[in-house]
């Protein structure tokens, strides 16, 4: 059995497809060109944002997706 990729379990195509959400926080994923390479998964992380990162100002659906998240 091959080891699973830590960032995403499945990578369908450039538009993000359906796959496992990454374990890294959104703040670091953006630096790794995650938005450009997987816009579909990026949309899942952001969704209808409920939390904001106090450090960089990004918004996400889940607090654990941000490095210093706080409720909006």
pLDDT tens profile 15-64: 444 556 677 888 888 888 888 898 888 888 888 999 999 998 989 998 98
* Of the candidates 33, 68, 65, the residue with the CA atom closest to the CA atom of residue 49: 65
pLDDT over 90 (residue 13) = no
> In this predicted structure, what is the pLDDT of residue 41?
87
Q: What is the structure's pLDDT at 8?
A: 46
Cβ burial 43-72 (10 Å sphere, 16+ → b, else e): ebbbeeeebbbeeeebbbbbeebbeebeee
At residue 17's C-alpha, the angle toward residues 16 and 18, to 5°, is 120
> Looking at residue 4, what is its pLDDT?
52
pLDDT of residue 47: 86
pLDDT for position 2: 46
How many Å apart are CA 13 and CA 62, to the nearest integer?
Answer: 24
């Amino acid at each position: 059995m091959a080891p699973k990729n830590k960032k995403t379990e499945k990578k369908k195509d450039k538009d993000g497809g359906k796959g496992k959400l990454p374990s890294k926080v959104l703040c670091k994923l953006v630096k790794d060109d995650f938005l450009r390479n997987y816009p579909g998964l990026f949309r899942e992380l952001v969704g209808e944002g409920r939390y904001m990162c106090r450090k960089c100002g990004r918004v996400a659906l889940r607090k654990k997706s941000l490095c210093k998240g706080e409720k909006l």
